[in-house]
Structure 1
Amino acid sequence: MVNLITGPRGSGKTQQMIDLANEKVKTSSGNVVFIKRSSKDTYSVDFNIRVIKMADYPDILTLEEFVGFLYGMAAGNHDIEAVFIDSILKQANITLESLPTFIEKLNKISEDAKIDFYLSVSADKAEIAGVDTLGCTVL
């Protein structure tokens, strides 16, 4: 399942994602992963959550490469239950226009690998009204 957390910049999406991840790791029998552009604002992430800074992977520049990175994570660790991706529109070249394609690919990974994805999107619900969010839950 793909879950979207939307709202304008500065509306608390990152903290909401951290809170959700911290709750998820308490009840999870597998691994929880939190992906951010940098390590900023991750001081309150539970120690048991694997934090990945995409700044450490500067060669991942396209949506396809980012999806390949996620497939690699899933293939390398079959115990991942949830992946939280903060500020998705700042990852690789993902835009509001390419978000439906990305969501479609995440739904496939989610179905195949049984991973729940949580994405924060810096956009109002009105801005993503035209985005195909079929198969997603907007939190």
Structure 2
Amino acid sequence: MVKFYAGEKGEGKTKTLIELANKAIKECGGDVVYIDDDKRPMYELHHDIRFVEVNEFPLVNYRELIGFIYGIFSQNNDIKQVYIDGVFKLVKELGAEDLIKLISRFDAISENMGVDFVVAGNADPNELPKEIEKYIVK
């Protein structure tokens, strides 16, 4: 499963992701990873959630983010959910075509590995590519 939360800054996407992650760690039967570009959410997340601040690992394109996530998976086979907050800030070069490719890869990884992805980004949902429309949470 892949879900994409889109909206303008300040609409509560981070708060929603934190709530979902905190709920998931109690219910999903596996490990949860939360990826962000700053440390602020770390203090609101349940202590069992693996928090990763990406500023320590600059990501230029969506391929690097996929490789980064595979690296996390290689260290832990029990991951069931991955939360990625601020995807457009995490990946410096993420245009419409690359966003489609990224979400498609997440979908394939989810199907093959049984890992759910919940992604958020500052964007008008109506301006995102039609190809990812089915993943957008309204």
TM-score normalised according to structure 2 size: 0.90
Structure 2 equivalent of residue 122 of structure 1: 122
| Structure 2 residue aligned with 1:48 | 48
Distance 1:137 1:125 in 2: 7
More helix by share: 2
Q: Which has the larger displacement, 108-117 or 95-104? A: 95-104
Structure 1 unaligned segments of length 5 or more: list them: none
C-alpha RMSD of the superposition? 1.6
CA distance in 2, matches of 1:100, 1:111: 17
Cα deviation digits, residues 49-74 of structure 1 (max 9, x gap): 0000001213x322111111112222
Structure 2: tracts of 5 or more residues without a match: none
Matched positions, count: 137
After superposition, where does 1:1-139 map in structure 2 within 5 Å?
1-58=1-58, 60-92=59-91, 93-128=93-128, 130-133=129-132, 136=135, 138-139=137-138
Identity %: 32
Q: Give 1:135 shift.
A: 5.7
